[in-house]
């Protein structure tokens, strides 16, 4: 394991197995690299005993998450250290649970929801206003803005450029009997058996952390 | 007709919408396609063997051909053929984005 010394920028390509059984793979970068995310997706899928075909949707979903970070989280920032992303997969050989994380230090999802909806088009903006029950989405509570980001009517780029956001990431987690949790700014959201919960985080977090946790149901059934 | 096998001729793991996001983005691949379309009336794109095809990549590479006026909505189906033997669902995703782009242009 490479020395970390408290600086997450030093976590480049680390494979960490502290107890000789768990596997932690961490990648970080500025530019997007599908090879790096492939390693993470494979490691994550291994914990779920998925075959080569089944890990591909996970790889695509992770790439979508990284694309979202690159395109939205750091809007206006130069292609430099300011645009760094981190991703990590954690698997436990004798445990049905596996974890996949994507993290950025960007402007947070609640901050980007109104301007993304505005860019997506008039219908998305109207949906957002309806959801928030207010005409000025920028003034809404962060938890409600994060909840809105899970609504396909707000995030889907129906008339412009296509893309997937939190609704698809949630779907993937649920397909594998798991959950999706997002911490972003002063808000957190998590799925729990098809329900979406939101709450305010005291003190908040810098940026956004997206966590897929799968295998929970499998554990419950065995 | 000319063929492009993406996994071997471009990248086995394409990602990103724009060139500034990475070397193997949809915009970069669209430029490869643009060159091939200059050389040949019909281009077959084989996505078999790739992994992690992201929506930004697919949208920018294929629907981008129409949005950027590289190919007309009418000509798209006549000049572009896409195959993906190991994951045919990718074709549905591309079709959806291309249809949206056609709808916006026409």
Handedness of CA A192, A194, A198, A201 (dihedral sign): positive
pLDDT band at A193 (very low <50, low <70, confident <90, very high): confident
- Rg of chain B on CA atoms, in Å: 12
If one counts every other C-beta atom within 10 angstroms of the C-beta of residue A35, the result is 14
B46 touches chain A (CB under 8 A): no
For the cut 50, the answer to whether the pLDDT of residue A6 exceeds it is no
Q: What is the pLDDT of residues A95-124, one digit of tens each?
A: 778 889 999 999 999 998 888 787 777 777
Q: What is the pLDDT of residues A44-87, one digit of tens each?
A: 877 777 766 678 888 888 999 999 899 888 877 777 788 899 99
B52/A37 Cβ within 8 A: yes
Residue A5 has what pLDDT?
A: 36
- Chain B residues in contact with A62 by the CB 8 A cut-off are 52
ipTM score: 0.93
* Average pLDDT score over residue span A157-182: 73
For the cut 50, the answer to whether the pLDDT of residue A218 exceeds it is no
Handedness of CA A109, A113, A114, A119 (dihedral sign): positive
Task: Give me the residues paired with residue A14 across strands.
Answer: A26
Residue A177 has what pLDDT?
A: 81
A49 touches chain B (CB under 8 A): no
- CA distance linking residue A122 with residue A153, whole number of Å: 11
- Rg of chain A on CA atoms, in Å: 17
For the cut 70, the answer to whether the pLDDT of residue A161 exceeds it is no
- CA distance linking residue B18 with residue A54, whole number of Å: 27
- Chain B residues in contact with A161 by the CB 8 A cut-off are 17, 56, 59-60, 63, 67
Contact indicator for A66, A87 with CB cutoff of 8 Å:
yes
Q: What is the pLDDT of residues B21-35, one digit of tens each?
A: 999 999 999 999 999
Percent of the residues in chain B that have a pLDDT greater than 90, as a whole number? 91
**How would you label A63-99 residue by residue, b for 16+ Cβ within 10 Å and e otherwise?**
bbbbbbbbbbbbeeeeeeeebbbbbbbbbeeeebbbb
Mean pLDDT is lowest, of A68-72, A141-145, A155-159, A202-206, for: A155-159
- Higher pLDDT among residues A15 and A190, named by residue: A190
Residue A157 has what pLDDT?
A: 56
* Average pLDDT score over residue span A187-213: 92
B104/A162 Cβ within 8 A: no
For the cut 60, the answer to whether the pLDDT of residue A19 exceeds it is no
* Average pLDDT score over residue span A3-8: 39
If one counts every other C-beta atom within 10 angstroms of the C-beta of residue A124, the result is 24
Please count the residue pairs, one from chain A and one from chain B, whose beta carbons lie less than 8 angstroms apart: 95
Residue B85 has what pLDDT?
A: 94
For the cut 90, the answer to whether the pLDDT of residue A133 exceeds it is no
pTM (two decimals): 0.83
Compute the half-sphere exposure of residue A54: CA atoms within 13 Å on the CB side of its CA.
11
B60 touches chain A (CB under 8 A): yes
């Amino acid at each position: 394991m490479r020395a970390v010394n408290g600086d997450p920028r030093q976590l480049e390509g680390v494979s960490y197995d502290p107890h000789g059984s768990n596997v932690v793979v961490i990648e970080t970068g500025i530019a997007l690299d599908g090879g790096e995310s492939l390693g993470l997706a494979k490691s994550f899928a291994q914990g779920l005993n998925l075959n080569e075909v089944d890990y591909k949707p996970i790889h695509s979903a992770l790439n979508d998450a990284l694309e979202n970070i690159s395109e939205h989280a750091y809007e206006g920032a130069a292609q430099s250290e300011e645009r760094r992303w981190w991703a990590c997969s954690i698997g436990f050989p004798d445990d049905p649970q596996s974890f996949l994380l994507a993290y950025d230090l960007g402007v947070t999802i609640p901050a980007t929801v109104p301007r993304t909806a505005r860019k997506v088009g008039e219908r998305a903006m109207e949906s957002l206003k309806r959801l928030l029950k207010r005409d000025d989405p920028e003034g809404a509570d962060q938890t409600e803005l994060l909840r809105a980001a899970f609504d396909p009517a707000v995030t889907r780029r129906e008339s412009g450029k296509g893309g997937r956001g939190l609704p698809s990431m949630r779907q993937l987690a649920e397909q594998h009997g798991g959950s999706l949790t997002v911490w972003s700014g002063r808000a957190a959201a998590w799925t729990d058996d098809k329900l979406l919960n939101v709450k305010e985080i005291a003190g908040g977090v810098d940026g956004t952390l997206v966590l897929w946790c799968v295998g929970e149901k499998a554990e419950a059934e065995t | 007709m000319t063929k492009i096998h993406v996994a071997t001729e471009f990248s086995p793991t394409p990602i990103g919408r724009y060139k500034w996001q990475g070397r193997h983005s949809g915009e970069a691949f669209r430029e490869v396609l643009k060159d091939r379309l200059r050389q040949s009336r019909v281009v077959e794109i084989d996505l078999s063997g790739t992994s992690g095809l992201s929506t930004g990549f697919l949208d920018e590479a294929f629907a981008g051909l129409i949005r950027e006026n590289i190919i007309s909505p009418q000509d798209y189906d006549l000049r572009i053929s896409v195959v993906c033997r190991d994951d045919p669902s990718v074709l549905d995703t591309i079709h959806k984005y291309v249809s949206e782009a056609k709808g916006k242009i026409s």
